[in-house]
Chains A and B, each alone.
Chain A
Amino acid sequence: MSVAQGEGMLYLAPLVALLGGALLVFSNARYARLLALLSTAAAFLFTVGMVVRPGMLLLRGPAKADLLLYAGGPGLIFALLVTFVLLVSIGVRLSEREKPAVFVSTLLLAAGALLFLLSHNPLTLYLGWGLLDLSILFGLAQGASPRTATRAMVINFTAGLVLLFSSLTAASSGGSSTRFSPQLLAFLLLFASWVRWGLYPVQMVHIAAEEIPFLSGSALQTVTLATGGYFLTLYGWPRLVGVPRTVLLLLAGLALFYGALFTWRNPTGPKGIPWEIPREKRFCLYLAQFQMGLLALSLLAGGTGGGQAVLLLTVSLILALSVLRVGMEVLPSTPRQRLVVKVALGIGVASLSGLPLTAGFAARWLIYDSLLRQGEGLIVGLGALSSALIVAPLLGFITRWPDRRTQSRGGWASVVTLWLLAVPLVILGLHPQIALVRPDLISESFPSLAQLLSAPSSLPIWAAIVLPLLMGYLAFSQRDTFVRFEERLLHRVGPLWERLSFPIPQVPQGSRGRSRGTGILSYLDLEGFYGALEGVGAKICSGLRGVVMVVEGGSLGWLLLLAFIVALFLLRG
């Protein structure tokens, strides 16, 4: 392989730093934390360097197998975000004992993500996908349940092969396929991007992220959101001609409601998410699904002008979720520290709710604005309704944050690190255009806050964003009333409800959360669907295996028979 550009090594440097760091950590467990921090810091600095000096790196391989890295597109923004979040996460855990394997898998994840994000041709994209999947595999080995891990790897790998096939067919005819319909290729790309993003109903990677240790889980969710978001900006769903929109809108809507309803109810029990995952961690999963569903709906409904909304929403989502995650890890020791941590968490919650002056607000503004321009008022309404559902739980999350803790962890260093994540949410809320990093990349610029406030057609959007906040606050403050109302309602529709729902699960001793029947939520969860699929698949495989055993049992007779048949076939005529 040869490098076609003199200064190209800068664009490889972050990858090398991360991979080298992983290797060093693996070989020297004693200094694992320090090595991990240094390599991530190096990767972050190199990425910043790429922002200052964008460019391309071409590695020529044999048989047209060239690798092309491009530091300058939307992928650079995501790459910067990934390295930044990773650096902060490792910084928070610096004072804790963490298994070296966790650091290794985290660094590998980041390296895979960077290769994917900086790719600029199909082969590099596919290789990045492959490295990412391999890294995820090792990350899941840190504690994901075998079922979740297997599902995640299977769906990811299938999507990877779909991507490879579509890349190959596109490459075989110079970009426009003559043998395969554009619709099929578009559908394949859509499937691949849907899986990469981890959107419901293929959210297995996000589920797995909640089952593994904090560092790996944080990295996995960040990487999944970033790479999925990048993939969306690359292919742009509105350009997928001929894909059945109704079905996709339905799926995206289900994702939206799945995220919102599960955030509202946050069920426990053996159905759905394993109940061993702490309640607070499940928030990150459901919140991500809600926001991703909203973005998916808007993209499918009519696009949001370039990569703006994808970029801003993904950036704000990653930062806000990271604030929540890191905040859960920081255990302040003094009341002042607790207050500071709570304020930071409050910023994260505010961004997720869409409170003005936060990045989440700007992202929602773009989405609703684009939808209203397309005349999709219904979807805006659905989004607003769903937003109302998540506000109360988010407020509950903040208020439940314990004021007294028996042990402390982290100190002011961790608190400062947490604020490093929270501050950008406010900055982006005030100046969304900063998210672009390189303004020349995306054709249309973000509106500034002043422009948002002064636009005359902005009233419906304000209503769509602010009303859910009020409704959510109302639901939260009057929650006892709501709970009693819900119970009375459930009692009245009891028999019908029981027919629709699964039996109320027996919640084990010592579990947290409410033990309520989860009816429709159980269906939404799709555990039954996947279980049934696996069951059917197992039966088919069992049948086929039986046939194979019978045939192999009398293999000599079958061999001779088949040889005879093949010989007759070849000797015909």
Chain B
Amino acid sequence: MLFSGEQLVWGLFFTAGLIAVVEEWRISLLALLIQYALVGLILSGSLSPSLALAKIITGGMVFFILCPTAWRGRRKPPAKIAGQGRTLATSSPFRLVGSALMGLVAYGLLHQYPWEGVPTDLAFASNFLMAMGLWTVILGRGPFRMGLGLLTFQIGFELLFTTWERSLLVAGLLGLMNILLALAIPYLEAVELARREVER
């Protein structure tokens, strides 16, 4: 393998942190895509290659579904898209500190409730992704940012669950869920942008 399991997990930490802290849509989307790829690579080590490939393909589809929407919203800074001025919650230091806190929460949960049959680093990565996903959702001021957080949460959950449930049907349905979410997010974001245009 190109990267070791530990490196892949660190990669996941980094991408999740990027999504939560950085509001720039290009970076966030790219981080999301990389997340899907990393998850696929992690799972390829322990599961069948077809499952891993399914994850990567899903990630790719999600990326290409979200791209046009992010492009449309590119002219407005994220705070303006949400119709709010800059606040503490939208400042990067606050997000950074919060992300670190989420890391601590994930670490604490790992030791309190260790997941059966899941390697420690994988369990931590999964906990961290779920926590960061929820953190991004809470901070998010528009459907796009909240959607990214939701997808991050979903990735973390699937990372965990796929180690237990290896059925292709279940993986397919979980992938379908990601696609449906990815379709819903641009739809909602488009409506949000249209409402902001009308208000201006």
Contacts and interface: CB of A to CB of B under 8 A. Distances in A.
B138 interface: yes
Contacts of A537: none
A560 B137 CA distance: 11
A556 B134 CA distance: 9
A405 B137 CA distance: 78
A388 to B, nearest CB: 72
A445 B138 CA distance: 78
A557 B135 CA distance: 9
A556 B137 CA distance: 8
What does DSSP make chain A's interface, helix, strand, loop or mixed?
A: helix
Interface in B128-187: 134, 137-138
Contacts of B138: 556-557, 560
B153 to A, nearest CB: 11
Interface residues of B, number: 3
Nearest to A564: B105
Contacts of A557: 138
A557 B138 CA distance: 6
Interface string A537-566: 000000000000000000011001000000
A557 B134 CA distance: 9
Contacts of A556: 137-138
A333 B117 CA distance: 100
Contacts of B137: 556
A116 to B, nearest CB: 54
A556 B140 CA distance: 11
Interface in B43-101: none
A564 to B, nearest CB: 10
B73 to A, nearest CB: 21
A556 B153 CA distance: 14
Contacts of A560: 134, 138
Nearest to A571: B113
Nearest to B112: A571
B6 to A, nearest CB: 29
A557 B89 CA distance: 13
A118 B137 CA distance: 61
B183 to A, nearest CB: 21
A60 B28 CA distance: 68
A560 B135 CA distance: 10
A560 B130 CA distance: 12
A468 B138 CA distance: 77
A560 to B, nearest CB: 6
Nearest to B140: A556
B133 to A, nearest CB: 11
Contacts of B134: 560
A560 B102 CA distance: 13
Nearest to B149: A556
Nearest to A554: B138
A490 to B, nearest CB: 63
Nearest to B134: A560
B148 to A, nearest CB: 14
A557 B137 CA distance: 9
A560 B138 CA distance: 9
A560 B134 CA distance: 9
Nearest to B113: A571
A145 B138 CA distance: 47
Nearest to B146: A556
A556 B138 CA distance: 6
A501 to B, nearest CB: 55
A309 B138 CA distance: 70
A570 to B, nearest CB: 13
A398 B138 CA distance: 76
A560 B149 CA distance: 14
A560 B131 CA distance: 11
A556 B135 CA distance: 10
A401 B194 CA distance: 71
A109 to B, nearest CB: 51
A560 B136 CA distance: 13
B139 to A, nearest CB: 9
A556 to B, nearest CB: 6
A550 to B, nearest CB: 16
A66 B150 CA distance: 54
A317 to B, nearest CB: 64
Nearest to A558: B138
A74 to B, nearest CB: 66
Top 5 nearest A-B pairs (CB, nearest first) are A557-B138, A556-B138, A560-B134, A556-B137, A560-B138
5 contacts: A556-B137, A556-B138, A557-B138, A560-B134, A560-B138
Interface of A: 556-557, 560
Interface of B: 134, 137-138
